[in-house]
Amino acid sequence: MRKHIWYLEQLSIADLNSLGKNTMGEVLGIEFTEVGSDYLKATMPVNQNTRQPYGLLHGGASAALAETLGSVASALIIDPDKQICVGIEINANHLKGVKEGFVTGICSPLHIGATTHVWDIRITNVKHQLICISRLTVAILKKH
22/25 Cα distance (integer angstroms): 8
Instruction: Report DSSP state, residue 54.
Output: T
Question: Is residue 67 flagged as an active site residue?
Answer: yes
Strands 31-35 and 40-45: antiparallel
Tell me the residue type at 90. I
DSSP H helical ranges for 8-130: 13-18, 24-28, 59-77
Catalytic residue among 26, 31, 67, 100: 67
In degrees and rounded to multiples of 5, residue 74 shows phi and psi of: -65, -40
CA 35/CA 37 separation, integer angstroms: 7
The amino acid that residue 111 corresponds to is H
Rounded to the nearest angstrom, the gap between the alpha carbon of residue 120 and the centroid of all alpha carbons in its chain is 9
Indicate which residues carry an active-site annotation: 67
